[in-house]
Structure 1
Amino acid sequence: MARTASAVPRAPRLLQVALLMLLLVAASRRAAGAPVVSELRCQCLQTVQGIHLKNIQSVKVMSPGPHCAQTEVIATLKNGQEACLNPEAPLVKKIIHKMLNK
């Protein structure tokens, strides 16, 4: 005797509807207050203690937020490369201060 689709046990219809409702509620809560960010992770995985000021073209300081829990300092060098600087290093604090006062 051949098996038909009706011979396969299925969850009761009410359980299916309840599961679908639960998934929809969970998805809507996750999307409701979600901030829009361009990067969803930290950009700096490793940092350096400092770079000589004459090699730096610009500095970008990114505050902690939903994308990353730490302050990130990204220096664009005159040769086009980017370097992540340790925001707690005294030399980096001095570089940021000088760049802001320019």
Structure 2
Amino acid sequence: MDVKLLVLLCLLAVTTHVPSSTAKPISLVERCWCRSTLNTVPQRSIKELKFLHTPNCPFQVIAKLKNNREVCINPETKWLQRSLKKAINKVKKSRRQAGNNKLH
């Protein structure tokens, strides 16, 4: 689970530091996965989160629900932002502890 979290955080870090693209016509082949987003999704119904960022689309968060349905969540939803901050802090803390253990 820690490896998945680390991969997730790395993807998030890369996508948040990439400048957004200018508006361009998108062909049918290059359509964005999320055409609309939800602001309210019960967290307990989420089984998995995926993060996507492509050159022609904004940062996208896709939630796979326990009923196997996939929905797009607004990436600026407050609970999602809080969860990501907690996850980043957890990884930073574990890295610091691992670094301190190597020194001893």
The structure in which a higher percent of residues are helix is 2
Larger Rg, first or second structure (1 or 2): 1
